[in-house]
Amino acid sequence: MFKVKSAFASFNQSEPEWIAAIKRKTDEILKSFDAKTSEKVNNAERQYKNIPHNLFLSDEFTSSEYHDDVDMELNFDQTVDDNKNNDWDLLIFTQQWPATTCYHWREQDKNHECKLPNIKEFWTIHGIWPTKLGHMGPSFCNKTANFDINALQDIMERMNLFWPDIDGEEPVQDHWLWKHEWLKHGTCAATLDQLNNEIKYFDQGLKWRENYLISNILRDSNIHPDSNNTVVALHTALIKGLGKNPSIHCLYDGKNDISYLADIRICFNKSLELVDCDGVLRDATSIDYPGGTVITNCHISQAVHYPSLVPGRHIISYY
C-alpha cells in the first residue's frame, strides 16, 4: 500500500509514483494468470469493446457515446431503454465513491467545486434504480409526478449526510439530485407499496446503506483508500460481506491507463430481499474467473485504484 502525497498532483508532470505503483500492480496481475485464465481475460477484454468504461469528455480521456454531462448515474442513466409498460424485475441500489464522482465532474470543468464528505472512507448513496433484466430502466414512470421536499423533513438530516449531491454546483435549496432520483427512478419503484411515496423510497435507501455499507465491507478485507486492487480481490471482498453477487463499476482514465473505483451496485427483488445482480449486464459484462463470476465494467486484467483524494487539480468544499 502507498500514500498519495498531494491532492494537487498534476497528470501533466512526469509520471507520479502512485501511477507507477498502479502499473506495477497491473503487471503483477498479468504475471499471475495461468494460460487458461489468460485466455478468459483476453475474451473478456474483447467484450469490453462493446461496453462503455468511462464518462470523460476531454481528449485526454476515452469518451463515450453514452455520456450525459448533467448526470453521473454512469451508463445506467444514459442508456435507458424505451420500456413502454414500465415493468421491472429488480432494484439496483448504488453507493458511490465521492472522490471518483468528483473526478468525473472535474473533467467537465476544471474549476468545478465538488461537495465532499469530511469523513474518512465515507461512501454515499447515489440511487435506487428499478431495472428490467437485460435492459436499462424504466424511467420517468409518472409524467405528472412532482417532488415535494417537505415530505422528507423527518429524514432531512440523514439525507444531507448520506445522500448528498456530490456535484455541488446546483444551489443546495434546489435539491437537484433527490428530485432527479425520485422523478426518474422513484416513480417507477412506486409500483411497490413499500416504496410508493418519497419518504418510503428515500428512507429505504438510507436503511440499505446502513445495512450494506461498502466501506465496512471493503475494510473487513483490508481494502482501504490509497490502494490498488484487482477486480477479483474487490469481488471476493464484496461476496464475503454481502453473500450475493454485486456489480462493480469503474471510471477509466485513457491517457494514463488507470481505472478508478467508482461505484458498487447491489440488487434487491420486489420483496426487498438482497439477491444476485446476475442478468444486470447492459452497461457491464459477466466474466468467469477461477472461483467465481464477476459483473463489472472494469478491466479484469488491470489494477483498480481506490483513491483517497480527487486526482488532479480541483476545488472542493466539505460538508
Pick the catalytic residue from 185, 249, 299, 314: 185
Residue 175 annotated among the catalytic residues of the structure: no
Separation of alpha carbons 119 and 319, rounded Å: 9
Pick the catalytic residue from 181, 235, 249, 299: 181
Pick the catalytic residue from 104, 112, 126, 180: 126
Separation of alpha carbons 316 and 311, rounded Å: 12
Residue 185 annotated among the catalytic residues of the structure: yes
Separation of alpha carbons 196 and 52, rounded Å: 33
Separation of alpha carbons 106 and 117, rounded Å: 16
Residues forming the active site = 126, 181, 185
